[in-house]
Structure 1
Amino acid sequence: METEISSTNPIYYQDASGLANMIRTRQVSAVEVMKAHLDRIDALNPSVNAVVTIAANALEDAQAADAAVSRGDELGPLHGVPFTVKDSIDTVNVLTQRGSPIFKGRIPSEDATSVARMKQAGGIMLAKTNLPEFSYWIESDNLLSGRSNNPWDLTRTPGGSSGGESAAIASGMSPLGLGTDLAISVRGPAAQTGIVSLKATHGRVPMTGIWPREPRRFWHVGPMARSIRDLQLAFSVLSGPDGLDAFATSTVQFDAGIGSAQNRHLRIGWLVEPGFGPVDPQVAATVEAAAKALKELGLVVEPVRIQALERDFALDVFNRLHVMEMKEAFRQATADRGDDEIYKMAKTMLSLPDTSMKDFIDAEQAVERLRDGFAGYFQKYDVLLTPVLPIPAHKHGVEQFTINGQTVDATYLQGATVPLNLTGLPGIAMRFGTSAEGLPIAIQIVGSWQAESTILHMATLLESVSSVHDLHPIE
């Protein structure tokens, strides 16, 4: 993919892979790239409110990157490329305030593993991005840094909990970033803003240096970007054990060239309902369109049902499990704090009744049934196509939705994403359609455990036939 900078294709809308190549070959300097993104932040952040802190040394680091190019030093795959980081992820000597006045002024003494690896690859930390209080909700709003807006329509949400990250990338403030995902939080925001994101197999990318830790068996950290090749590159940099996160034990080597997945006759199933809750017809049509596109490419594609999803509604299972553990983390964080320092989501969490031990154990067994159900599915198929969200990006503050004739609360937006957190399966969110209101509609590409190369290959195929993946918000 050739990269060319022009008035219609400016620096700030290039992907990270293209920028890295241009910096390496001296078509553009790292300083020029950094200044373009800083200028973009100056221009758009007052209205979008995606960025909460700019790294003080960003320009200085870009100058050092250019000096390394001039010296002929060995360069990393992301050399000189800016990246942004969700503000729940620790960054050395840069504020990490977790969307709460309780952590105002907090400066970590070391980087999270994921941040350190991006830097080791040559990336330059540009800024921290907004999130909901304690990284917990489907909107990115808090008492400390306010509400983030969707650059496609400022009256709508860019999602949560990595909504600041998604809004920054979609609007050209950043080419690449790190988000976290407990139930929806890199895939939902990507879907709402028209970018791409990867939630890898649980444990593939260490969670070291990220808060909250509980419930760590469901938490993930992953890349958010504007191209599938950037997800490939970032994942190859981020994955692997760090000796600190006990869930991060896989030594499976990731092949950024996709490897043997290209040479196999892949079988794809697609599923909209039942199992995920109600889905808007526009979203359902987009999933079906992606399935049709793959079939036209010569792959075996057919509609499927997964009985385990129909027996145990994953969202209900998740709600019975995570409250018990997360509530204690919230209780400790808010101890002896004034009511004016705690926002609505922490208050809601603290007010929820404890799950009974019987319900907790039943829910744990349901997770095992879901894992078994997916294991059976992936004996027959290589990939599953689903919605990411049941609707396109919604207006701020909406707590109830009528979707395909059924009224549900806002948690139902997680219906198709949370099964992957419960089971640890990998999934990619990518745009493949547009709503009647001109908003992005995305699909979710799901693979078996450790099968990131397969779903990245599938996403590359769909990107190659998509007419919407490189669209940007109206200036």
Structure 2
Amino acid sequence: MTRNSVPLHYQDATTLASLIATGSVSSRDVVEAHLNRVAEVNPKINAVVTLRADQALAAADDADRAVADGAELGPLHGVPFTVKDSLDTAGVPTQRGSKLFAGFTPAADATAVARIRAAGAILIAKTNLPEFSWWTETDNLVTGRTNNPWNLDRTPGGSSGGESAAIASGMSPFGIGSDVAISVRGPAALTGIVALKATHGRIPYTGHFPAVTSAWWHVGPMARTVRDVALGYSLLSGPDGVDGYAVHAKNAEAAIVPAAGRAVRVGWVSDTAFGPVDPEVTATVAAAAARLVDLGCVVERVQVPFLDGDDALSALMTLVSSALGPYLRALVGDRHGELFRTGAAAVAARDPSLTEVLAAQAKREALRSAFAEYFSTYEVLLCPVTPVTARPHGLSEHVVDGVTVSSTHVMAATSPFNLTGLPALSVPYALSSERLPIGVQLVSTWFDETTILRLGALLERKGGLDDHRPPVAARTAS
């Protein structure tokens, strides 16, 4: 325990780095606390799939010697972190949730992993994901199903569901996930943590599987506090000389930025753009909008008829699957029997026609233009992350506000920002009547991550989610 009675495994990464740098605690103490937490709760949650206990403790001892020697320390010196198992880690298995890659061990780190290590952080574990990162729940044939620490019978989402569950339950203070339609923001919202999908190309994708879909994927930081996500973003962003989309200078700014001293203009929307949306989720977005008014922002409810979530999702999936499908079929070959149901569905999916691909591209360009116009009036769009809270595992349909929808509807409020490459932040805000987290999403114009991170820090957990520690139920999930 630390002086403020919060256990080490629930201190945020920024605090831990400060405690280690000042000698208030040792890196070994911090790493041991997190390893003990993994031993305590991972059997129930199954978020961690590869643990590096001995290596992490040895690295912690090295970190403590550096502190004692007065060496120059990185901003995350001695702090443990975790990584979604779709990102390469040198000498550490990267199994991608698939039997096709069981035991696969890369020779080099993904760029994002290398940058967090260079900041002094210590990799303690890899975390679970759906096969090929291709679903909104976290389950596969190699490492099994991950449960939500708020209710073990509910999903933590996907595809970064293992990462979100590990962070939410105190197994890790900071992690790296990835997002093609929902995959850092949705899991963050369902488990009560923070995640950022930055402008496409801000953070290099190098070393993430599959490389063929780099035009749409985003690598992003995940943590329990906005300040940790902001720190992670500052370390992860910038070109690496490999990713052809990560070509913008680290300090690149939006074409139009809010004038100094002027109130930030925020439009908010929920069910009219992404419906159906659970009334509790809409009420949470409305409450966050009201809080922004109290904080001095100019806020109004807006109509955004160009935002048809299912339309955007359909276009995005058409574009991604046009590249992913042929790639996976060549990769799988005659090993179809080794695939999980979601991986098998991705392989079996019909390739979109040229007409469908061109229509999806046209939708993308129209949506980008519509957002360019929107952000000439407003700096921020406030909206839901997911239309529902964490659902039971394995549902093919959801009933949302009395309407039956496909399980893919969970991506309605996130996919437009992947299709257009806009930055979007998932912020934990409130608890539902079932005591499940509800998050809100802040979206800004391209390259203006600063504004949404600043507003996110003002909003986080101000709507009733005052404790970021889930119950991690003692019972075993059914």
**Partner of residue 78, structure 1:** 76
Residues 254, 453 of structure 1: 8 Å contact kept: no
Q: Take 1:413 and 1:304, find their aligned partners in 2: how far apart are those partners?
A: 22
Q: Give the one of 117, 128, 140 matched to 1:119.
A: 117
**Partner of residue 317, structure 2:** 319
Q: Take 1:119 and 1:316, find their aligned partners in 2: how far apart are those partners?
A: 37
**Partner of residue 87, structure 1:** 85
| AA aligned opposite 1:109 | A
Give 1:20 deviation, angstroms: 0.3
Give yes or no for the alignment of 1:351 onto 2:348: yes
After superposition, the Cα gap between the structure-2 partners of 1:399 and 1:108, relative to the gap in structure 1 and judged at 3 Å, is: same
3-state secondary structure, aligned to 1:386: strand
| AA aligned opposite 1:43 | E
Q: Give the one of 394, 400, 403 matched to 1:403.
A: 400
Q: Take 2:461 and 2:415, find their aligned partners in 1: how far apart are those partners?
A: 28
Q: Take 1:449 and 1:106, find their aligned partners in 2: how far apart are those partners?
A: 36
**Partner of residue 22, structure 1:** 19
Q: Take 1:146 and 1:338, find their aligned partners in 2: how far apart are those partners?
A: 18
**Partner of residue 336, structure 1:** 334
| AA aligned opposite 1:90 | D
TM-score (norm 2): 0.95
**Partner of residue 208, structure 2:** 210
| AA aligned opposite 1:24 | A
After superposition, the Cα gap between the structure-2 partners of 1:22 and 1:37, relative to the gap in structure 1 and judged at 3 Å, is: same
Residues 336, 344 of structure 2: 8 Å contact kept: no
Q: Take 1:469 and 1:166, find their aligned partners in 2: how far apart are those partners?
A: 18
Q: Take 2:444 and 2:327, find their aligned partners in 1: how far apart are those partners?
A: 31
**Partner of residue 382, structure 1:** 379
Give 1:270 deviation, angstroms: 0.3
Q: Take 2:411 and 2:445, find their aligned partners in 1: how far apart are those partners?
A: 20
**Partner of residue 150, structure 1:** 148
Output one character per residue of 1:100-150: Cα deviation in whole Å (capped at 9) or x when no partner.
111011111000000000011111111000000111101110000000000
3-state secondary structure, aligned to 1:286: helix
Q: Take 2:111 and 2:4, find their aligned partners in 1: how far apart are those partners?
A: 37
Q: Take 1:183 and 1:469, find their aligned partners in 2: how far apart are those partners?
A: 28
Residues 154, 392 of structure 2: 8 Å contact kept: yes
The Cα RMSD (Å) is: 1.7
Give 1:350 deviation, angstroms: 2.1
1:262-341 pair list within 5 angstroms: 263-310=261-308, 313-339=311-337, 341=338
**Partner of residue 9, structure 1:** 6
Higher deviation after alignment, 422-431 or 269-278:
269-278
Output one character per residue of 1:400-426: Cα deviation in whole Å (capped at 9) or x when no partner.
011112211111100000001000000
Give 1:469 deviation, angstroms: 5.1
Give 1:359 deviation, angstroms: 1.4
After superposition, the Cα gap between the structure-2 partners of 1:464 and 1:191, relative to the gap in structure 1 and judged at 3 Å, is: closer
Give 1:246 deviation, angstroms: 0.5
After superposition, the Cα gap between the structure-2 partners of 1:106 and 1:416, relative to the gap in structure 1 and judged at 3 Å, is: same
Q: Take 2:376 and 2:402, find their aligned partners in 1: how far apart are those partners?
A: 35
Give 1:335 deviation, angstroms: 1.1
Q: Take 1:464 and 1:92, find their aligned partners in 2: how far apart are those partners?
A: 36
3-state secondary structure, aligned to 1:446: strand
Q: Take 2:368 and 2:241, find their aligned partners in 1: how far apart are those partners?
A: 26
Output one character per residue of 1:382-402: Cα deviation in whole Å (capped at 9) or x when no partner.
111010000000000111011
Q: Which runs of 5 or more structure 2 residues have no equivalent in the other structure?
A: 473-478
Output one character per residue of 1:182-201: Cα deviation in whole Å (capped at 9) or x when no partner.
10000000000000000000
| AA aligned opposite 1:332 | A
Aligned-residue sequence identity (percent) comes to 51
**Partner of residue 33, structure 2:** 36
Output one character per residue of 1:51-84: Cα deviation in whole Å (capped at 9) or x when no partner.
0001241110000000000000000000000000
Q: Give the one of 34, 44, 47 matched to 1:47.
A: 44
| AA aligned opposite 2:24 | Q
After superposition, the Cα gap between the structure-2 partners of 1:158 and 1:261, relative to the gap in structure 1 and judged at 3 Å, is: farther
Residues 431, 464 of structure 2: 8 Å contact kept: no
After superposition, the Cα gap between the structure-2 partners of 1:7 and 1:395, relative to the gap in structure 1 and judged at 3 Å, is: farther
Residues 12, 40 of structure 1: 8 Å contact kept: yes
Residues 150, 436 of structure 2: 8 Å contact kept: yes
| AA aligned opposite 1:91 | T
Residues 87, 99 of structure 1: 8 Å contact kept: yes
Give 1:467 deviation, angstroms: 4.2
3-state secondary structure, aligned to 1:73: coil
Q: Give the one of 438, 455, 468 matched to 2:452.
A: 455
3-state secondary structure, aligned to 1:307: coil
After superposition, the Cα gap between the structure-2 partners of 1:7 and 1:299, relative to the gap in structure 1 and judged at 3 Å, is: closer
**Partner of residue 475, structure 2:** none
**Partner of residue 436, structure 2:** 439
Q: Take 2:424 and 2:466, find their aligned partners in 1: how far apart are those partners?
A: 17
Give 1:275 deviation, angstroms: 2.8
After superposition, the Cα gap between the structure-2 partners of 1:172 and 1:346, relative to the gap in structure 1 and judged at 3 Å, is: same
Output one character per residue of 1:227-278: Cα deviation in whole Å (capped at 9) or x when no partner.
01101110110000000000001104179xxx98874321000010333231
After superposition, the Cα gap between the structure-2 partners of 1:343 and 1:276, relative to the gap in structure 1 and judged at 3 Å, is: same
Give 1:463 deviation, angstroms: 2.7
Higher deviation after alignment, 208-217 or 142-151:
208-217
After superposition, the Cα gap between the structure-2 partners of 1:225 and 1:416, relative to the gap in structure 1 and judged at 3 Å, is: same
3-state secondary structure, aligned to 1:142: coil
Q: Give the one of 404, 413, 418 matched to 1:421.
A: 418
Higher deviation after alignment, 39-48 or 314-323:
314-323
**Partner of residue 246, structure 1:** 244
